[in-house]
């Protein structure tokens, strides 16, 4: 009889020990949580699908601007004849086509030890999902001639119908303000309009990558950021400040 009671006690003790060790296992396997999307990305249009994947923010866009353009087909509701201020405007032969962009940019951008140059084609994404291009035309030639094909919002499509901005996207700065967040480059650092604390930023105030570190409305503790300026190189200078992610199209 005594032996039976002893066995029952051993069994009960064993069960409790197993339960305790299982509990411990559960705790140790639930520590890796998915990082949440920083609030700053809420400034993107809802046409851009945004998620966090590991150490990257993934932004998917069809590249269609949220404003009108003479580069839509004349039957399209977004068609608008040129009504900008450039007397030498000359429409290029391309028209805006739906794209399939996937931008992967670092969630926590960091300065790179060697600064890679920006590519021709998309080097970043603006808050309306339109890609940002650098200061060069095909063959790394200056934009001199291309500028005359920029529409009234400062964009134009290239030969596969990819609409893009090389300079200040006027629809964004007209609607959000010239100090607004414009978007992000592939290295995860933000791009702002030409105005800061009420005055226009000049190239002389920026480093060779076309940015500086200061507080912004979205990053009150300060962050490296690029500025769009009126003069070349407009958005980026001598390459990425940080390590770029990737873009597929
Ligand atoms: Zn272009
Ligand atoms: Zn600044």
Whole-number pLDDT of residue 178: 98
In this predicted model, which residue has the larger pLDDT, 17 or 220? Answer: 220
- 86-109 per-position pLDDT tens digit: 999 999 999 999 999 999 999 999
239: left (phi over 0), alpha (psi -120 to 50) or beta: left
Model pLDDT, residue 2: 57
> In percent, how much of the chain has pLDDT > 90?
83
Q: Ligand 1 centre from 201 Cα, in Å?
A: 23
**Closest among 165, 241, 236 to 203, alpha carbons compared:** 236
pLDDT at 6 over 80: no
Could you tell me which residue, 216 or 14, shows the higher pLDDT? 216
Give CA 99 to chain center in angstroms.
16
Whether 72 shows a pLDDT value over 50: the answer reads: yes
Residue with tokens 């992000």: 184
Residue-level pLDDT at 152: 98
pLDDT of the residue at 15: 52
Ligand 2 centroid–CA 139 distance in Å is 30
What is the 154 CA–ligand 1 centroid distance (Å)? 10
Rounded Cα–Cα distance for residues 166 and 146 (Å): 10
Q: What is the pLDDT of residue 1?
A: 52
The Cα 228–Cα 195 span in angstroms is 9
Q: Which pLDDT belongs to residue 218?
A: 97
Q: Which ligand is nearest to the CA of 200?
A: 2
Cα(109) to centroid(ligand 1), Å: 27
User: CA dist 145 to 31, 86, 89, 122, 233, Å?
Assistant: 56, 13, 10, 20, 15
| pLDDT the model gives residue 139 | 86
Mean pLDDT for all residues in the chain: 91
Closest CA to 63 of 185, 192, 194, 164: 164
120 phi/psi in degrees, rounded to 5 = -70, 150
In tens, the pLDDT along 203-240 reads 999 999 999 999 999 999 999 999 999 999 999 999 99
- Which residues keep their CB under 5 angstroms from ion ligand 2? 196, 214
Residues 6+ apart with CB under 8 A from 78: 64, 65, 67, 68, 69, 72
Q: How far is ligand 1, taken at its centre, from the CA of residue 133, in Å?
A: 7
Rounded to the nearest angstrom, the distance between the alpha carbon of 211 and the centre of ligand 2 is: 7
Residue range 154-169, pLDDT digits in tens: 999 999 999 999 999 9
pLDDT-based confidence at residue 85 (cuts at 50, 70, 90): very high
pLDDT of residue 22: 45
Q: What is the DSSP string of the chain?
A: -HHHHHHHHHHHHHHHHHHHHHHHHHHHHS--PPPPPPGGGGGS-TTSEEEEETTEEEEEE----SS-BTTS-TTSTTB----SS-TT----S-------EEEEEESS--B-SS-PPPPSS-SEEETTSPEE--SEEGGGEESTTGGGG--TTSEEE-TT--EEESS--HHHHHHH-TTSEEEEETTS-EEE-SEETTEE--GGGS-TTSEEEE--SS-TT-EEEEE--SSTTTT-SSS-SB---EEE-
pLDDT grade for 23, boundaries at 50, 70 and 90: very low
- Could you say which ligand is closest to the alpha carbon of residue 138? 1
């Amino acid at each position: 009889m005594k032996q039976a009671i002893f066995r029952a006690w051993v069994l009960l003790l064993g069960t409790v020990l197993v339960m305790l060790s299982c509990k411990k296992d559960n705790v140790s396997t639930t520590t890796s949580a998915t990082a949440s999307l920083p609030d700053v990305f809420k400034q993107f249009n809802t046409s851009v699908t945004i998620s966090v994947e590991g150490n990257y923010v993934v932004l998917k866009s069809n590249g269609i601007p949220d404003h009108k353009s003479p580069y839509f087909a004349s039957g399209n509701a977004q068609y608008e004849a040129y009504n900008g201020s450039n007397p030498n405007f000359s429409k290029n032969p391309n028209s805006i086509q739906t794209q399939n962009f996937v931008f992967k940019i670092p969630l926590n951008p960091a300065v790179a030890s060697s600064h890679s140059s920006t590519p021709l084609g998309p080097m970043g994404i603006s808050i309306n999902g339109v890609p940002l291009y650098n200061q060069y035309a095909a063959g790394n030639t200056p934009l001199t001639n291309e500028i005359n094909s920029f529409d009234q919002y400062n964009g134009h499509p290239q030969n596969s119908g990819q609409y893009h901005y090389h300079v200040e996207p006027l629809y964004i700065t007209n609607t959000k303000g010239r100090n607004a967040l414009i978007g992000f480059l592939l290295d995860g650092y933000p791009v702002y309009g030409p105005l800061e604390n009420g005055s226009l930023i000049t190239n002389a105030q920026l480093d060779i990558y076309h940015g500086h570190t200061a507080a912004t409305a979205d990053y009150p503790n300060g962050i490296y950021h690029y500025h769009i300026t009126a003069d070349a190189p407009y958005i980026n200078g001598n390459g990425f400040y940080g390590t770029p992610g990737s873009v597929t199209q």
